[in-house]
């Protein structure tokens, strides 16, 4: 976590220069990557809630369809090691326990749209898609359901953004048996690069 914050601080310190207005040259295929810090809050009705900090990643691929609009596939994920947490229903118990390298990935795969303000280096984005939760520990648990995401970014150098995003997912256990629902909220702040 300290390394992520150091990378963000160095990137901002070295790169805070005015964004050059090269929007007129932007068109066609786009691909982007981002990394930062994220917080994931999750709750199961009747079993309480918890929150965890960790690494946040971002990936997009698509097209710049006009000078101000991008349309793309978006993969946004928070990675973390959970503390012990149990969610109980009448017939089952969902357990999340910290054990060795046990990692959970919570995120969204979405169709996204970004609008770039013509008068400022600000990007407004949103997306709708499939929210997911995957625990990579033994006896893996997997949830999925509808999700929404949105964010704002500041282009501090040509094609480099400092961005903040929020994601919500209403997830359901995909295994057979009594269903378990989970609400997940993700927040991330990071640095992204977009290539045209």
Provide the whole-model pTM: 0.79
Rounded CA gap, 152 and 155, in Å? 10
77 pLDDT tier (thresholds 50, 70, 90): very high
155 pLDDT tier (thresholds 50, 70, 90): very high
Three-class secondary structure of residue 2 per DSSP: helix
Q: Does residue 14 carry a pLDDT above 80?
A: no
Q: Does residue 9 carry a pLDDT above 80?
A: no
CATH of domain 2-195: 2.40.160.20
Q: Does residue 101 carry a pLDDT above 80?
A: no
Identify the H or E element spanning 14. helix 2-15
Long-range contact set of residues 44-51: C-beta below 8 Å, sequence gap at least 24: 44/87, 44/94, 44/180, 44/181, 44/182, 44/183, 45/181, 46/88, 46/89, 47/86, 47/87, 47/88, 48/85, 50/82, 50/83, 50/85
Beta-strand pair 85-88/69-80: unpaired
**Tell me: the pLDDT tens digits for 78-98?**
999 877 666 655 555 666 554
**Tell me: the pLDDT tens digits for 15-31?**
333 333 444 466 799 99
**Tell me: the pLDDT tens digits for 41-58?**
988 777 778 889 999 999
173 pLDDT tier (thresholds 50, 70, 90): confident
Mean pLDDT of 111-131: 96
Domain boundaries, the chain: 2-195
Q: Which of 74-83, 121-130, 134-143 has the highest mean pLDDT?
A: 121-130
8 pLDDT tier (thresholds 50, 70, 90): very low
């Amino acid at each position: 976590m300290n390394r992520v914050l150091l990378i963000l601080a160095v990137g901002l310190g070295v790169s805070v220069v005015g964004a050059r207005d090269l929007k007129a040259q932007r068109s066609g295929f786009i691909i982007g990557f981002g990394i930062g810090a994220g917080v994931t809050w999750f709750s199961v009705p009747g079993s309480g809630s918890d929150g965890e900090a960790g690494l946040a990643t971002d990936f997009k691929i698509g097209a710049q369809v006009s000078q101000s609009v991008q349309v793309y596939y978006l993969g946004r994920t928070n990675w973390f090691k959970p503390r012990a947490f149990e969610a109980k229903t009448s017939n089952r118990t969902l357990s999340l326990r910290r054990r060795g390298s046990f990692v959970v990935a919570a995120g969204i795969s979405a169709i996204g749209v970004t609008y770039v303000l013509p008068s400022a280096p600000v990007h407004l984005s949103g997306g709708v898609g499939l929210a997911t939760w995957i625990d990579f520990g033994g006896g893996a648990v997997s949830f999925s359901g509808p999700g929404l995401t949105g964010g704002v970014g500041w282009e501090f150098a040509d094609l480099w953004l400092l961005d903040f995003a929020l994601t919500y997912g209403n997830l359901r256990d995909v295994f057979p048996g009594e269903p378990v629902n989970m609400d997940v909220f993700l927040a991330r702040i990071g640095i992204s690069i977009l290539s045209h």
